[in-house]
Amino acid sequence: MYILVNEGIIPKSSFSIDIEDRGYQFGDGIYEMVKVFEGVLFEWEAHLERLFRSARELRIAISMNKEELTKQIQQLIAIENLRDGYIYLQVTRGVAARVHHFPEGATSVLVAYVKEGGEVRKAELTGIHVITTEDIRWQRVDIKSLNLLGNVLAKQKAVEVGAQEAVFVRDGFVTECSSSNIFGIKDGVCYTHPANHFILNGITRQVVIRLLEKVSLELEETPMTLEALYEMDEVFITNTGQEIGPVIDIDGRKIGTGEVGEYSRKLSSEFQRLIDSVVPSKQ
Ligand SMILES: Cc1ncc(COP(=O)(O)O)c(C=O)c1O
C-alpha cells in the first residue's frame, strides 16, 4: 500500500508518525474525505476548495498548490489502482516541541491514503434511526478540523442506543449531526441550517441543494427548532460516505409515515444520476 506524504508517494510501511506531530498532540490539523467512483474523484474541486479554506482559517500552510495536490492525488489513485472507494487526506501544522502557540519553523505534514469500498450506498435507503443530543462543540465547526471529540461522543451515544446518527441541538435549534448535515421537508419546502460557523458546509449538502430544483422542492436555509424537526414530513441526512440517509425516527418518534419518504428517494435517484454523469462507464 502506498500513501502520499507531502510531495512524495511512498510505501506505507516506510512512514511513521512523529510523536510530536501537532495533529497527534493537539488535533491541530484539517482533513477531507473524498469519494472515488470508477477511479474518478467526485466533487473534487469543492473538497479542494474547502480544504484550502480550512487551512486559511487555521493559518496552516499547505506545501502544495491545488494543481500539484490534484496531480499527486490522481497519481496515488492510479498507483493504488483504486476503482470505487475514497481518499482520506489530512494536513497537520507539523512537528515541533510541544507548545500551544504556533511553533516557529514547523512545516505542515500532508498525508493521504486511499481505501477500497467504504460505506455502502443505498443500504441507508431502508431508513435510519437517530437521536438528538446537545451541541457541545466549539463555535468554528465550519472548519473541517481534526478536533472531533464532540462528534465522537455524540456518535457513541447514538450507537449505544442502537441509532445510526446523533443530531446536534444548540439552544433549541438543530444544527447538523455528528458526521452529517440534516434536512427536513415540510409542505414542499426543504429546510436546513444556513452554512455559518455552527455547521460544516458539507459537500454533499451543497450537491443536494443543487438537486432540490429537480424534485420541485424549495430551499429554506433557516435553523429548525427541535419541535419543528419532529413534525417534518421527511428528514434526511447527507454526507460523503452515505450520500442521502433517510431518517425514519428521531428519539423514538416517527417522522412522517415512519418510512422512507418520496422526496428522499427522488433525491437519491438524482444523486445517482449525477454520479453516472461523471463516471467513464456511463459516458
Ligand atoms: C460534522 C459533519 N457535518 C457534515 C458532514 C458532511 O460533509 P460532507 O458532505 O462534505 O461529507 C460531515 C462529514 O464528515 C461532518 O463530519
Residue 283 in domain? no
Which ligand 1 atom is at minimum distance from the Cα of 199? Answer: 3
CA 105 to ligand 1 centroid distance, Å: 32
**Ligand 1 and 202: CB distance under 6 A:** yes
Same domain assignment for residues 209 and 187: yes
Structure confidence at residue 119 (pLDDT): 55
Which ligand 1 atom is at minimum distance from the Cα of 50? Answer: 10
Residue 232 in domain? yes
Same domain assignment for residues 137 and 60: no
Active site positions, annotated: 144
Same domain assignment for residues 54 and 182: no
Task: Tell me the CATH number at 232.
Answer: 3.20.10.10
Domain count, the chain: 2
Structure confidence at residue 125 (pLDDT): 79
Structure confidence at residue 56 (pLDDT): 98
Residue 282 in domain? no
Residue 61 in domain? yes
Q: Is beta strand 181-186 parallel, antiparallel or unpaired with respect to 173-177?
A: unpaired
Which ligand 1 atom is at minimum distance from the Cα of 206? Answer: 9
CA 183 to ligand 1 centroid distance, Å: 13
Domain final residue pick, 116, 137, 155: 116
For the beta carbon of residue 9, count every other beta carbon within 10 angstroms. 16
Structure confidence at residue 121 (pLDDT): 54
Same domain assignment for residues 232 and 128: yes
**Ligand 1 and 176: CB distance under 6 A:** yes
Same domain assignment for residues 48 and 144: no
Same domain assignment for residues 189 and 261: yes
Positive or negative, the Cα torsion across 126, 164, 42, 138? positive
- Domain of 152? 123-276
Task: Tell me the CATH number at 91.
Answer: 3.30.470.10
Structure confidence at residue 252 (pLDDT): 98
Residue 281 in domain? no
Q: Which residues of the chain have pLDDT under 70?
A: 118-124
Structure confidence at residue 117 (pLDDT): 87
